[in-house]
Structure 1
Amino acid sequence: MQFQPFKIAIPDDAITDLHDRLRRTRWLQGIEGQSWSEGTDLGFLQSLLAHWTEGFDWRAQEAQLNQLPQFLAQVGEQTLHFVHQPGTGPAPLPLILTHGWPGSFVEMQRLIPLLADPASHGGDAADAFHVVVPSLPGFAFSPAPKHKGVGPYEVAGLWAALMAGLGYERFGAQGGDLGAGVSTWLARRFPEQITGIHLNYVPGSYRPPLGADQPPICGEEQAFLDRGAAFADAEGAYAKIHGTKPQSLAIGLNDSPAGLAAWIVEKFQAWTDCSGDLQHAVALDALLTNISVYWFTGSIGSSLRPYVEGRARPLAFAAGERVQAPTGVALFPAELPMPPRSWVERCFNVQRWTTMPKGGHFAAMEQPLLLAEDIRAFFRPLR
């Protein structure tokens, strides 16, 4: 497998075009009392877009991202963009980190050095990892697949091939959101290659076998199912659109940076441990760097494809099917509805279950040190 070094280099005219579009935003007329209750708060968005136009320095953020060792690889017919940060320690363990939506490899920017070089960040060199962070197909600088049928199941195959091409015959996997689904499919499809998986979200499509020959649903499990149904009713419209009619939405988001920012920011505000103020959880420049990557690469439409593909191949288990690889789960308090341990243990070999003191859905951005510490601890006995 051939690897080509990669540097981000957004053309000047693309930045100028972004600023021109932002200045020409045609604003809605809000009504009193809306705030975040019906979507993105207009006042917050106006302030964010003003900063995006006048204060945010893309070139500085681009330079920081380019400090990460980035590459392009051809895996079958798919080109993959990825970060490959070799570990500093006596015997680094290969580890692939997978982001989700509406994130990107940018999510992992602060987490990567904590895992690759723990001794330089208050940890033990024995816990070092060779860290690989690919961009999902159709996200950031990984081009979109040219045909239907590339979802989390197929991405797991691409990741296994990428890691083998890097010389990593056995490796660990970690992820949240879509990355949790990819990591689970890796363990399910390639058990001989997977040392263990660490999840900070349990895939939303995960369905264990239920019925007369299975343990009855306990009170904690029923409460989780009720929370999930309530969440789907109140907050799940985005996923329904993504999974059924994404193209109509994507056309607008791809043409308007204000619309793109509104769609993404609302999820960060709702899913982070921010107590109503997003800046308590994620710095605005980090948020805008992530949004800018979506904008400059024109990838919002292709980033919605995993929802369509995930509906076509959900993470459902038949009786007797299990993920045999050791599994660790980190529960952050502001995460989307998470199941109890008993629900996960129906099909996963759970070896570590950690309740975190703070943080939300974007754990690698919100609480990178807490997440890094739990990843290190989980994989320590598996080395």
Structure 2
Amino acid sequence: MSGERPTRQRPGTGRPAQEVETMANDSMIRPFRLDTPEEAIADLHRRIAATRWPSRELVNDRSQGVQLATVQELAHYWTTGHDWRACEAKLNALPQYTTDIDGVEIHFIHVQSQHENALPLIMTHGWPGSVVELLGVIGPLTDPTAHGGRAEDAFHLVLPSLPGYGFSGVPTELGWENGRIASAWAELMNRLGYSRYVAQGGDVGAAVTDAMGRQAPDGLLGIHVNLLAGAIGIKDQLPAKSAQERAALDALNTFTTDGFGYFLEQSTRPQTIGYSLIDSPIGLAAWMFDHDTDSYYKISRAIVDGQPTGGLTRDSIVDNVTLYWLTGTGTSSARWYWEFGRFLAAAGASGQAPPPVSVPVGFTTFPGELFPAPRSWVESVYPGLAYYNEAERGGHFAAWEEPELFAAEMRAVFQPLRTS
């Protein structure tokens, strides 16, 4: 089929260098540059200034939700101190591209190491994150000699934006769950000419990376995840004998009863919450901040007190929210949870176990995670686990919070696969 098609447009997004491609060239890889219209930033500031504020919460913690003081300080900084152009320049300094896969325009950052025999690594972000949460690991992974590593530790890095997130296109049909995204990532690595590579993910990215391991496409050598997403559906079947196992189960139960609101809403009614997420920048930010207790307090300290946790700084936090706002992806990103919920329901109704992961699996548990998974739990989901480590610090956004420590984990887990 031939004929011109216009490139998808969303308010405030940058576009590929070539504005029009033919259907026959959908597999092309096109350069991407971010160029945010000034009016989009001005509109953002106007909407923040026009926010209708709720009354203050009646408690002194986050048990009623995101605290008013945190969000009001965010609003002040967002309009008077934050520089989106600095984030734009940081992104434009990196090699960015788009390519159409299975009908969706996929945006990705592709940084190749200068070191010989670098191992290709595709890393997948989650929600409410974006490629912004992974920027801090680019240097340590691609240029290890400048960050305490060796030349033989180097990676070529591919950082895609999930479909419906950030600068990627929004799916126009159902079915974009983990398996379909995993297949798209395999196609992306194939288009980039990588015949041997590894994959990593946290949060949504962990579910996608898990699916890659179960699909085991040609060239995938191994995977690493830092959230045991599979534990949520089988928590009653997991061992709970040791103190560590009982603590993990308590944390998981707390999350699925007290911290699960965003998950339930997005997995059942993403369109409903989506109207607020694309109409109010403050509503979007508050919804994104209300993810988990550990992350919330780190975000609040960074915004209110200017006290970062590693790379989780006030500017990078606001960069991430601004990216969601300018791309208008609050609703479309939430739909992944709806797809995921139906995927799990269908799998449960079938009564069939998922195919096993047939490549080596590495897992790092971070102490501030939703539930720090003990080794016995990880082995329940991934029999034959190849690598397990308990990190000394870090939480749900591990690569964002602790980029150097996270990079060291990537070097350790994938080192045995470099010569396989």
CA distance in 2, matches of 1:376, 1:288: 30
Instruction: Tell me which of 111, 125, 134 is aligned to 2:151.
Output: 125
Query: Please, what TM-score do these two structures have when normalized by structure 1?
Result: 0.93
Other structure's SS at 2:224 match: strand
Other structure's SS at 1:322 match: coil
Higher alpha-carbon deviation: 367-376 or 336-345: 336-345
Q: Which residue of 2 aligns with 1:324?
A: 358
Deviations 1:172-202 (A, max 9, x none): 0001000001111001012543111111111
Q: Which residue of 2 aligns with 1:359?
A: 394
CA distance in 1, matches of 2:34, 2:157: 19
Say yes or no: does 1:67 pair with 2:102: no
Say yes or no: does 1:52 pair with 2:87: no
Q: Which residue of 2 aligns with 1:173?
A: 199
Distance verdict in 2 for CA 1:28–1:320, change over 3 Å? closer
Say yes or no: does 1:189 pair with 2:210: no
* Shift in Å, 1:222: 6.1
* Shift in Å, 1:320: 8.9
* Shift in Å, 1:275: 9.9
Distance verdict in 2 for CA 1:210–1:250, change over 3 Å? closer
Listed as ranges, the gaps of 5+ residues in structure 1 are none
Other structure's SS at 1:89 match: coil
CA distance in 1, matches of 2:370, 2:293: 12
Say yes or no: does 1:263 pair with 2:292: no
Deviations 1:83-133 (A, max 9, x none): 000122120111100000000011111111211111122211101111000
- Contact kept in structure 2, 1:209 and 1:318, CA below 8 Å: no
Say yes or no: does 1:238 pair with 2:246: no
Distance verdict in 2 for CA 1:210–1:103, change over 3 Å? closer
Q: How does 1:91-170 map to 2 (within 5 A)?
A: 91-170=117-196
- Contact kept in structure 2, 1:194 and 1:325, CA below 8 Å: yes
Q: Which residue of 2 aligns with 1:11?
A: 37
- Contact kept in structure 2, 1:243 and 1:311, CA below 8 Å: yes
* Shift in Å, 1:37: 2.2
CA distance in 1, matches of 2:123, 2:167: 16
CA distance in 2, matches of 1:242, 1:32: 26
Instruction: Tell me which of 273, 276, 281 is aligned to 1:252.
Output: 276
- Contact kept in structure 1, 2:289 and 2:299, CA below 8 Å: no
Higher alpha-carbon deviation: 348-357 or 32-41: 32-41
Say yes or no: does 1:372 pair with 2:402: no
* Shift in Å, 1:344: 2.0
* Shift in Å, 1:21: 0.6
Q: How does 1:203-214 map to 2 (within 5 A)?
A: 203-204=229-230
Listed as ranges, the gaps of 5+ residues in structure 2 are 1-26
CA distance in 2, matches of 1:353, 1:318: 27
Say yes or no: does 1:307 pair with 2:337: yes
CA distance in 2, matches of 1:242, 1:169: 36
Higher alpha-carbon deviation: 231-240 or 201-210: 201-210
* Shift in Å, 1:34: 4.3
- Which segments of structure 1 move beyond 6 Å, counting only runs of 4 or more? 208-211
Deviations 1:334-370 (A, max 9, x none): 1001332222213423111111111110111100000
Deviations 1:282-332 (A, max 9, x none): 211000000000000000101011111111223879569421211111111
Other structure's SS at 1:295 match: helix
- Which amino acid in 2 is paired with 1:313? F
Distance verdict in 2 for CA 1:114–1:147, change over 3 Å? same
CA distance in 2, matches of 1:29, 1:202: 37
Q: Aligned Cα RMSD in Å? A: 2.3
- Contact kept in structure 2, 1:272 and 1:334, CA below 8 Å: no
Distance verdict in 2 for CA 1:227–1:90, change over 3 Å? same
